[in-house]
Amino acid sequence: MKAFLILEDGHVFEGKSIGSTDEIISEIVFNTSMTGYLEILTDPSYAGQSVCMTYPLIGNYGVCREDMEAGRPWQSGFIVRELCKTPSNFRSEMTINEFLVENNITGIEGIDTRTLTKILRKDGTMRGMITTDENYDFDECMKRIKAWKMGHVVLDVTCKEKIFYPGDGFKVAVIDLGVKKNIVKSLLARGCQVTVYPAETPAEEIIADAPDGIMLTNGPGDPKECKVTIAQVKKLFDTDIPIFAICLGHQLMALANGGDTEKMKYGHRGANHPVRDMKTGKVYISTQNHGYMVKEDSLDRKIAEVSFVNVNDGTVEGVHYLGKNAQTVQFHPEACAGPLDTDSLFDTFMNMMEVSK
């Protein structure tokens, strides 16, 4: 069956339908990772987005549910040059197409993903529609595309009630903005007792549970939509409880302390982004997935200093808060980019909790 990708700038790509045949409108982004497509599909940070994979062949090792970052995929759509129909891996349980169908994810294959990526790099991330209607009304589609807004998607992906994971070590409160499974696993691997809280949980409730440390997770959408959570983050910051924040959590921490964020032209999404530690000068390879960034000139240098920067474009990749046991990073230390280049940041968090006790 034919499928069409219609961009808000008027470009139209014709390809073949994969997954669900439901018509969807979303934000169109690209990811440069060569592997990890299942982790990308199930990362809650992609809620409201359709991801174009720049690597030309996707699905060659199939699907292993153990690798999923959430209980279900959160992407609106999936865009590939070619989808492998005969995966070869002893862990594979199904093909990517079967997974897309099972989870009602709309996709398109066979389009020129290189050209699409060049358009997004040149003109920036934009909205788009994937449809299987060969008789679509272009003008009507454009009206619907331009009227679409992502909204406050954190509320869609966050847990609805507290989730408890036992452990013998530090008590860590995880604020679920769209948490990836590997973040929780990284804490459990260090013996932590983990409680995951919904995104808008009052700070007073979290403080009353007496955690040794607080983790703010990754998540989707515009950080400025998270007004309730930002107010709670400020209250948590004003305590002496150690805080470690990743991705969206990093942005919310900056906003809670008077900083500002802005949307990037096309964001950072991939597993090969170099970041420099400003203290040591050492460069690490990181996994990233974000379309917004903290504006460096908005940070109050009396309370915050930049700890990591992106080697490619100089954007802020980490912040250390002066006089506080609080550090934040824009990249994903729980992901396997280097493959364990920045995993030690979790150990730094452990040390922060040890020192504060």
Q: For the segment 233-260, what is each residue's pLDDT rounded down to a tens digit?
A: 999 999 999 999 999 999 999 999 999 9
| Structural domains for the chain | 2-147 (3.50.30.20), 154-356 (3.40.50.880)
- Segment holding 274, helix H or strand E: strand 261-277
The closest of 81, 72, 75, 100 to 24, measured between CA atoms, is 75
Q: Under 8 Å CB-to-CB from 209, ≥6 apart: which residues?
A: 171, 173, 195
pLDDT of residue 344: 86
Residue holding tokens 């699409």? Answer: 116
Q: Is pLDDT at 159 greater than 80 in this prediction?
A: yes
Q: Which residues pair with 287 in a beta bridge?
A: 332
For range 99-123, the mean pLDDT: 98
Work out the mean pLDDT of the chain and round it to a whole number. Answer: 96
| Residue 285 · residue 268 · CB < 8 Å | no
Q: Please indicate, yes or no, whether the overall pTM of this predicted structure exceeds 0.85.
A: yes
221: annotated binding-site residue? yes
291: annotated binding-site residue? yes
Token pair belonging to 278: 């400003």
pLDDT band at 334 (very low <50, low <70, confident <90, very high): confident
Residues in the chain: 357
251: annotated binding-site residue? yes
Distance CA 118, CA 188 (A): 41
Q: Hey, which residues are catalytic here?
A: 247, 332, 334
Token pair belonging to 292: 């917004």
